[in-house]
Amino acid sequence: MMNIFVGNLSFRTTEQELQKEFEIFGEVDSVKIIMDRETLKSRGFAFVTMRDQGQATAAIAGINGKVLDGQTLKVNEARPREARGGESHASAGGGYGSRAPFPSRGGFGGGKPRGGGGGYGSNEDIYDSKGGNGGRRRDRHDRRSR
């Protein structure tokens, strides 16, 4: 069984039209045009599953570069989905400083241990505004630069 990626689809192309194109080369198990969750419109790509490896390879060779509904299709064997982003959101950098209605709070750091990894602190003097400590309140004996 082979999963095939079909890119550069016209937003007008239907799953039935795509299935007809692939059935020329053999039995098609499934066709799924990927839709946007919010707009429910095509995102311009699809996945086609074919049981027979030889038929799937022939379909890729025969359909890649073909024009369908005014768009030149990009067809190849689908690769496994890669993990997104490297670091998780919990350890990512960045962050925000204090905002109304809580102006006395410090900023929020990037989520790394001890608040490091960026972020903006409050503009008040008693808070670190550089964000390196995630906007935590400074001790008056803290030797970090102001």
Task: Give the pLDDT confidence of 47-91 residue by residue, as tens digits.
Answer: 999 999 999 999 999 999 999 999 999 999 999 888 876 555 444
- Average pLDDT over the chain reads 77
Token pair belonging to 128: 């670190």
Angstrom distance (rounded) from CA 98 to CA 10: 46
Q: According to the model, what pLDDT value does residue 86 have?
A: 56
Instruction: List, in order, residues 6 or more apart from 18 with CB less than 8 Å away.
Output: 6, 9, 31, 33, 46, 48, 68
Model-level pTM?
0.57
Portions of the chain given CATH number 3.30.70.330: 2-75
pLDDT, position 80 = 87
Pairing verdict, β 2-7 and 42-50: antiparallel
**Inter-residue contact 94 to 85 (CB < 8 Å):** no
**Structure-model confidence comparison of residues 114 and 75, the more confident one:** 75
Q: Is the preceding omega at residue 101 within 30 degrees of 0, hence cis?
A: yes
Average pLDDT over residues 107-115: 50
Mean pLDDT, rounded, for 110-115: 50
- Measured distance CA(9)–CA(68) in Å, rounded: 8
Q: What is the CATH number assigned to the segment(s) 2-75?
A: 3.30.70.330
Angstrom distances, CA of residue 15 to CA of 21, 35, 67, 125, 127: 10, 11, 16, 61, 57
Q: How many CB atoms lie within 10 A of CB 111?
A: 20
